[in-house]
Amino acid sequence: MSDRKRLLIIDDDPEFVTGIKAILTRAKYEVDVAHNPKDGWTALKSKDYDLLLLDIMMGRGAEGVMIARKLNKDPKLRDLPVLIITGIREQIAFLFPGQAVHPHFVPVDELVEKPVEPKLLLEKVEALLKAAEERKAKAK
């Protein structure tokens, strides 16, 4: 395939983002960054992305969850694969009381914990992109 895949990172921790952005750029992905949910949503609406890397705890709470839910309701963005990168896997249990302690408490495809090893990160990204391609091919 000739054209490079375009990824968007939404995460409010700029230092962390430089780390994953460097790894993804080196792996020949085109990477955009939004440092808050609002800019992130604007970017998603104005440009076509192949994958979203999403932080959970931003701003005043679990705003990443709200983005994931909004995506799921948007007919155009519903099929965008999402990789959640979070520092709070263990704490999800009490931050979201009453919901099962399971990565799928939000409508996202995958979840990895911060920090994420480059190999694991690239594997997950590739797998999600591939699955999305296959879904698209099947739809046609």
Q: What whole-number distance in Å separates Cα of residue 127 and Cα of residue 140?
A: 20
- Say how far apart CA 88 and CA 45 lie, in whole Å: 27
Residue 87 CA to its chain's centroid (Å): 14
The token pair at 68 is 């994931």
Residue 130's φ and ψ, nearest 5 degrees, are -65, -45
- Nearest approach, Cβ of residue 51 and another protein (Å): 18
Give me the least distance between CB of 44 and another protein, in Å please.
23
Distance CA 43, CA 49 (A): 9
Taking the complex as a whole, the smallest distance from the CB of residue 137 to another protein amounts, in Å, to 31
Closer Cβ to another protein, 87 or 107, answer by number: 87
Supply the minimum distance, in Å, between the C-beta of residue 79 and another protein.
Answer: 28
Radius of gyration of the CA atoms of the chain, in A = 14
Q: Pick the closer one to another protein by CB: 44 or 56.
A: 56
CA separation for the pair 133, 127 (Å, rounded): 10
Comparing CB distances to another protein, the nearer of 67 and 86 is: 86
Binding site for another protein (CB under 8 A): 13, 15-16, 18-20, 22-23, 26, 57, 87-88, 90-91, 93-95, 114-118
Q: Which is nearer to another protein, 79 or 117 (CB)?
A: 117
